[in-house]
Amino acid sequence: MGKRIMIDPITRIEGHLRIEVEVENGKVKDAWSSGQMFRGIEMMLKGRDPRDATHFTQRACGVCTYVHALASVRAVEDACNIEIPENARLVRNLLSGVQMQHDHIVHFYHLHALDWVDIVSSLKADPVKTAKLSANVSGKPETADYFKAVQTKLQTFVASGQLGPFNNGYWGHPAYQLPAEANLMAASHYLEALKLQAQTARMHAIFGGKNPHPQSLVVGGITSVMDLNPARITEFETIWKKTKDFVEKVYIPDLVAVASFYKNWGAIGGNNKAFLAYGEFPEDNAGKNLLMPSGFIRTGLEVEDLDTNRITEDATKAWYDNTGEPKHPFNGVTSPLKSDVQYNTDDKYSWIKAPRYAGLAPEVGPLSRVLVAYARKDKAVQDLVNGTLKKLNVGTEALFSTLGRTAARGLETVVIGKGMGVWIDKLRSNIASGNKKTYQKYEMPDKAQGYGLSGVPRGALGHWIKIENKTIKNYQMVVPSTWNLGPTDGYGNKGPVEMSLIGTPIADPKRPLEVLRTVHSYDPCIACAVHVIDPDSNETYKVRVI
C-alpha cells in the first residue's frame, strides 16, 4: 500500500479542485481528481427563452466567458437552422483568437511557468550572461542593464521579506533544472507578459463591448455594427500585431529554451492515448472548413472524423442521482445528491461528471487540437511541430506528455495569430466595399434541438439545447475541464488527468511540484492554499504556492 497525498485546493487554477495521489517507490501509483464545486446553471435555464442562455452560460466561468457565449449561440443557431453572415463569422473568429492568445500567454507565464522556473535562483544570475542567453534564444534580446534592473526589483522583494506575486513557491526544489540565467530571463518575461495581457484583453472590448462577459454575440450574428469601421479595425489590428510579435519573439523562444532543460518530461504525463478536438475558426459560413480541424484520435496519430452521437456522460462516481447508463448530452440530467455528499474514492468523489467518446476518456485541449491537425497533415502545424521537435532533438513520442501539452499550447498560438491577420484583412475589405451585414433574421421554432461546439483554450466545449414551446426544455454543457478533470466512470476507466498523473516521479511528498506540473499543463487557473496530508503520521503539511 502506497502513501496517499492530498492537494486541496490545487492553486493557480479557476475554481476548486482536489487532487489525491497514491505514491509508491517514489512514483504516483494511482490518482483521483475531484471537482469541489457544484455548477447547476443547466437547472437555472429550464423554462427560459433560448436567447437568454448566452448570458447565463458565460457566467459559468470568470475567465472563459466569451467562449461559453459562442457555444450557446451556436447551439440555438443549430436548432433554428441559421447561417450567420460573413462579417459575424469573422468577428467571432477574431474574438475567439483573442481568447486563445490572451489565455495561452497568461497560462504559460503566470500559471504554469513557475512549475519550471525557480524565481529565487534568478537572484544568483549574471546579467551579462543572461543578456547573451537572451540574444541566442530570443527574437527580442535585452541588455545586461535590463536584466540587472529586473534582478534588483526581485532582490527588493526578497530583502523586504515579500516576494510579491512570487511568494510561497517551492523555490530550491530539486526538480528545478534551469540555470540561474535562464530563470532570470524567464522572470523578466513573466513581468512583461503581465503588462501585455491587459492590452490583449482590450481587443475583446473593441468588438465585444467589454471584457469579461462580452455582450456583442446574439443568436443570428453580432451586434457590434457601429464598431466595424476603419478606426476600430486598425485599433484592434495594432494590439494584435503587438501580441503576435510577443508570441513569436518571446513566448515561443522561452518555451523552447525551458523545454530544452526538461526533455525528460517528454516521457511523463502522457498515459492517456485518446484525444478529441471539436475544431475551431470556421473559414466558411457553413462552418465546414476549420482553421484548427476536428477529429478523434484513438491511439497514435490515426485520426477519425468527429461523430457527436458518440458523446456520453457518466455520473457513477459523481455526486449525482443519475447513476444509470451513460447519457448523451441531449438527454443529460443534472440532479445533484441532496444529502450524503461524502468524498470516497471507492464510491463517489466529485461534482464533475465523466464524459466519454466511444466509451473512451479522451484528453481535450491544445495538445489534442495540434495532434489532430498534425495527423490531418495541416502544413502550418506540421512545420511548427517538426521544427520544434528538431530544435529539441526529440521524436514525436515526446508530444504525448506534459512537456508536449505545454509546447502545443504555444505552437497553436502562432497558427491562430497568423489566421487572425487574414480575418482582419477580409473584414476591412468587406467594410470598405459596403458589405456591412452582421445579422441574419430568423424565427424561433416551437420545438427543436441543436448543439454548439467550440474549440476553446482549455479544450472541447459543447452546449446542447432542447427547445419546446419556444422555451428551454433541457440544456447541458460539457466543458473542457469536465473532459479532462472528470472522475473514474462506471466501467473503471479513469479520467485524462488521473491517467496522466500515474507514473509521475515525486521527489518530495511535502512539496509535490511534479503533480502540479502535470495538472497545470491542462490549464485549470486561480490561486489559493495547498494542504498535503501524510497518512503515516497524520501530520498536515500546509504549503502555499502561487
Query: In this predicted model, what pLDDT tens digit does every residue of 286-316 receive, in sequence order?
Result: 778 999 999 999 998 999 999 999 999 999 9
Count Cα atoms within 13 angstroms, Cβ side, for 57: 32
The pLDDT value recorded for residue 43 is 86
The residue type of 110 is H
Question: Residues 33, 17: contact at Cβ < 8 Å?
Answer: yes
Q: Tell me how far the alpha carbon of residue 322 is from its chain's centroid.
A: 28
Return the pLDDT at 210: 84
- What value does the mean pLDDT take over residues 472-494? 94
Q: Are strands 311-314 and 471-478 parallel, antiparallel or unpaired?
A: unpaired
Q: Catalytic pick from 14, 192, 235, 248?
A: 14
Q: Write down the catalytic residue from 96, 134, 481, 500.
A: 481
Amino acid at 30: D
Better pLDDT: 53 or 7: 53
The reply to whether 137 falls in a domain is: yes
Asked which of 146-160, 433-447, 497-511, 522-536 is least confident by mean pLDDT, the reply is: 522-536
Least confident of 1-15, 115-129, 461-475: 1-15
> Is there a domain that residue 313 lies in?
no
pLDDT at 531: 23
Active site residue 80: no
Number of structural domains (the chain) is: 1
241 in a domain, yes or no? no
Cα-based distances in Å from 370 to 66, 280, 367, 409: 22, 12, 5, 8
The mean-pLDDT minimum among 171-175, 285-289, 420-424 falls in 285-289
- Name the catalytic one among 4, 64, 181, 189: 64
Is the residue at 160 inside a domain? yes
Whether 528 is catalytic? yes
Residue 509 counted as domain residue: no
Residue 107 annotated among the catalytic residues of the structure: no
Q: Is 221 left (phi over 0), alpha (psi -120 to 50) or beta?
A: left
Q: Which position among 302, 397, 528, 539 bears the catalytic label?
A: 528
- Of the candidates 22, 42, 61, 405, the residue annotated as catalytic is 61
Element (H, E) at 280: strand 280-282
pTM higher than 0.75 for the full model? yes
Choosing from 39, 369, 458, 463, the catalytic residue is: 458
Count of alpha carbons within 13 angstroms of residue 292, beta-carbon side: 36
Q: Which of 4, 18, 39, 68 is catalytic?
A: 68
Tell me whether residue 175 is in a domain: yes
Q: Are 104 and 213 in contact (CB under 8 A)?
A: no
217 occurs within a structural domain: no
The predicted model gives 357-385 an average pLDDT of 97
Q: Is 525 a known active-site residue?
A: yes
Where in the sequence is the domain holding 155, given as residue range(s)?
120-179
189 is catalytic: no
> Is 517 part of the annotated catalytic residue set?
no
Has residue 162 been placed in a domain?
Answer: yes
